[in-house]
Copies of this chain bind each other. A is one copy, B any other.
Amino acid sequence: MRLSRYFLPTMKDTPGEAAIASHRLMLRAGMIRQSAAGIYSWLPLGLKVLRKIERIVREEQDLAGAHEVLMPTIQSADLWRESGRYDDYGDEMLRLTDRHGRDMLYGPTNEELITDIVRRELRSYKDLPKNLYHIQWKFRDERRPRFGVMRGREFLMKDAYSFDLTEESARHSYNAMFVAYLRTFARMGLKAIPMRADTGPIGGDLSHEFIILAETGESEVFYEKGFDAFDPLAAMPDYDGDLQPVVDCWTGLYAATDEIHDAAACPVAGDDLITGRGIEVGHIFFFGTKYSAPMGAVVQGPDGSQIPMQMGSYGVGVSRLAGAIIEANHDDNGIIWPVAVAPFDVGLINLRAGDAACTGAAEDLYADLRQAGFDVLYDDRDERAGTKFADMDLIGLPWQMAIGPRGLEKGVVELKNRRSGTREEIPRDGLVARLKG
């Protein structure tokens, strides 16, 4: 992409309204713009990241055997009256009335709607298990929206819902999502730790939050030494097999947020207990028949009896992750994208846009890199070198290349690794091979 044609409105100054790093950097890097309090428009650079996050989430859900659906944003209030949550939910629910005076709402979550779909279609125990997910915008009318996309009102969430005949089978569905979440966050370059959690308004008696570690995290977290030894991507899980040993391995170590942690009762102490800060990026729940029983979501069992389905729900904050990844990956100069979610692979800077030789060399390299399959942001603007370097650091692509008269004379291109800061002069002909490395 030629920057001269792209829509990438970067900002030099730190916007006053932004209190945390990810919010500041997403505004400065031209990723988002606020449209109303807690409601954001995603500009091209931000949307590319959001789509990459979404794709990883989707791939791991599909691998774990979940099926993608798409439920609407606007729901009928009647369903929420059936579950009893319409009145419980409070001011965070965005309520509205359509032109015929019917009570509607903008879905903050989808337990009721998916249960309604499933109770109409699944009739027999043979139709189970099923796990259905969607990636859709939600709205929660936060009293004080802040921290950019980390606590917005309109936000993108992946929510999955599992339906099983027995508690044992439901536990397997829960474990599958547990493992899929570990893989999902690891693929984004994040260290996520599952922590036993309160279930809150979703209900149920088994729940884990997935917390990524970041110095600027919203909550204090306490966890036992040893998580570093686990690698969720070391082997492909067998989702049809027994996943309990994997889950037991991760839950065998102590980990809790400050909401639950009780220093006096903590089984781990001294150097074995690490204190840090974290950001919640996923939350999974098993809640049995909390929704299926009142809503009549039953199947016929092998013996002909009507059995309410055992349910769980599983959320990933997709838009929140864009912010959370930045919280865990930035420095004073800007964002440092993990490769898997970087909006472009390479930033190519033409240091002398007015110079025919430099421009020719930059155009050639731009063509070669694209030919080799790299997604390149090519800064072909007529701007000062300092501005170009600063913008590249700010938007944080994994690799930067700069073409200028001095390198050209020597037949080399300067290659910078954004994360390590290392600069190397690479012979022009070896660049593609070096990147493929």
Complex CA distance for A116 and B40, rounded to whole angstroms: 12
Q: How many copies does the complex hold?
A: 2
A72 CB within 8 Å of chain B: yes
In the bound complex, how far is the Cα of B120 from the Cα of A71, in angstroms? 34
Chain B residues with Cβ under 8 A from A116's Cβ?
35
Q: Looking at the complex, which one of B74, B92, B94 makes contact with A36 (CB distance below 8 Å)?
A: B74
Q: Are B96 and A69 interface neighbours, CB within 8 A?
A: no
A333 contacts B by Cβ under 8 Å? no
* Known interface pairs A33-B120, A104-B36, A137-B137; A44-B73 also in contact (CB < 8 Å): no
Within 8 Å of chain B (Cβ to Cβ): is A75? yes
Complex formed: what's the CA distance from A246 to B69 in Å?
A: 40
User: A287 within 8 Å of B by Cβ?
Assistant: no
> How far, in angstroms, from A70 to B40 measured CA to CA in the complex?
9
Interface-forming stretch among A2-10, A258-266, A292-300, A390-398? A2-10
A139 interfacial contact with B, CB 8 Å: yes
Q: Say which residue of B6, B35, B130 sits within 8 Å of A67 (CB atoms).
A: B6
Is B36 touching A141 in the complex (CB atoms < 8 A)?
A: no
A401 proximal to B (CB < 8 A): no
Residues of B within 8 A of A94 (CB): 74, 96, 98
Given contacts A35-B72, A99-B141, 15 further A-B contacts (CB under 8 A): A7-B67, A7-B132, A35-B71, A35-B117, A36-B75, A36-B76, A39-B74, A39-B75, A40-B72, A41-B72, A42-B71, A73-B137, A74-B94, A74-B154, A98-B153
